[in-house]
Amino acid sequence: MTKILKVDPVTPDISVVREAASIIRNGGTVIFPTETVYGLGANALDEVATRKIFKAKGRPSDNPLIVHISDLDQLYDVCSNIPVIMERIAKKFWPGPLSVLLPKSERVADSVTAGLPTVAVRMPAHPVALSLIRESHVPVAAPSANLSTRPSPTSAKHAIQDLMGRVDAIIDGGETFFGIESTIVMLSEKGATVLRPGPYSPDELASAFGEVDVSVFAKGKPSDEALVPGMKYRHYAPLKPLLMVPDKETLVLVSEELFGAGLEHAVLCTSDVAGRVKGKSIILGQGEDLYEVARRLFSAMREFDESGLPFALVHTFPERGIGLAIMNRLKKACGGTVVARGSEAIRLLTKASRLAAESMHSM
């Protein structure tokens, strides 16, 4: 049975936090809010506990987790051979939505790193998350608190939808702030490489790292190996097909063509184009406010799932600033496919329907 613990996100009741921390210390699993998305946490030093995360989510065992800490002393519990630059990085970006890939300590459970010699670490900028980790007295391994491949949860409601009955407790601390997961970087001699884009853009990181490269995986290319979350597997996807179109004007045209063919659909879009499409509009944000789009992205995907409509369209966004992270998530959710005409969308949907039917028939 999953216990729901409600707290104020700014000044959480310490007695409630300590109840959740006791679960972590005793090998249990707790869902908690961070400034990015809700995380599903367990003691990062406990192999049995961290395996419960993979089981609850249905997560592949070769997909590593991020370890969350509440102070720099814990960094030395989970990492070894820490580079000198980390002190400057920590002072500038922690607490905050930045995860850094570092050599792992032998104390970290093998399942956390999927057997790799490295571990991604961050210090979350959320009062509830920091308090929970502090009161647990252990670093907390935590991926997003959703079923594997589903959109990440930005509210306790989303986590409850996916994982109620699969975890020991859920801390309800309201909606998250950024709405997408942390930026993940790998250090190099010259600076850093972004492996997964997030709220911190490459330009913002350059002030502390020097030269910052963006990997092809950060731009949405699949990887054969998961060095960090989000690289190898399908992620962030609604239950039904989500088709990407190259721009807003094409979105209007494709929506009209599909409507003319008698195909009802949803459209994930910004407010400036919502009145022009024929499908049911699900608003991502106002105009070019990409931070609002990021904050709404996953909840909009879940709203589409609940709409009863068979598929949805979404337009692209500029790959600058947090737009790089938005497009990374959309490419993963859409399988990297872009359509420019209604006929292309119909062919894709027909093929997907046929494959699904064949799959069911073979079971």
Domain total in the chain? 2
- pLDDT, tens only, 54-71: 999 999 999 999 999 999
In a shared domain, residues 185 and 75: yes
In a shared domain, residues 210 and 248: no
Instruction: Give me the domain span that covers residue 336.
Output: 242-362
Q: Is residue 103 part of a domain?
A: yes
Q: Is residue 248 part of a domain?
A: yes
| Structure confidence at residue 186 (pLDDT) | 95
From 214, 230, 251, the end of a domain falls on: 214
Here the CATH number for the domain that contains residue 268 is: 3.40.50.11030
From 199, 214, 229, the end of a domain falls on: 214
In a shared domain, residues 204 and 247: no
In a shared domain, residues 250 and 340: yes
The 3-class SS string of 100-161 reads EEEEECCCCCCCCCCCCCEEEEECCCCHHHHHHHHHHCCCEECCECCCCCCCCCCCHHHHHH
Mean pLDDT of the chain: 93
Q: Is residue 122 part of a domain?
A: yes
In a shared domain, residues 179 and 313: no
From 198, 214, 230, the end of a domain falls on: 214
| Structure confidence at residue 358 (pLDDT) | 53
Q: Is residue 77 part of a domain?
A: yes
In a shared domain, residues 7 and 142: yes
In a shared domain, residues 179 and 255: no
In a shared domain, residues 133 and 46: yes
Here the CATH number for the domain that contains residue 181 is: 3.90.870.10
Of 90, 89, 84, which Cα lies nearest the Cα of 69? 90
| Structure confidence at residue 360 (pLDDT) | 46
- Which residues of the chain fall below pLDDT 70? 223-224, 226, 230-234, 352-363
| Structure confidence at residue 221 (pLDDT) | 74
Q: Is residue 8 part of a domain?
A: yes
In a shared domain, residues 201 and 118: yes
- pLDDT, tens only, 164-198: 999 999 999 999 999 999 999 999 878 899 999 99
Q: Is residue 219 part of a domain?
A: no
What are the two backbone dihedrals, phi and then psi, of residue 343, each rounded to the nearest 5 degrees?
-65, -35
Question: Virtual CA dihedral for 40, 330, 311, 313, nearest 10 degrees?
Answer: 150
Q: Is residue 25 part of a domain?
A: yes
pTM of the model: 0.93
In a shared domain, residues 101 and 246: no
| Structure confidence at residue 362 (pLDDT) | 53
In a shared domain, residues 203 and 137: yes
Q: Is residue 225 part of a domain?
A: no
| Structure confidence at residue 354 (pLDDT) | 67
Structure tokens at 312: 């949805």
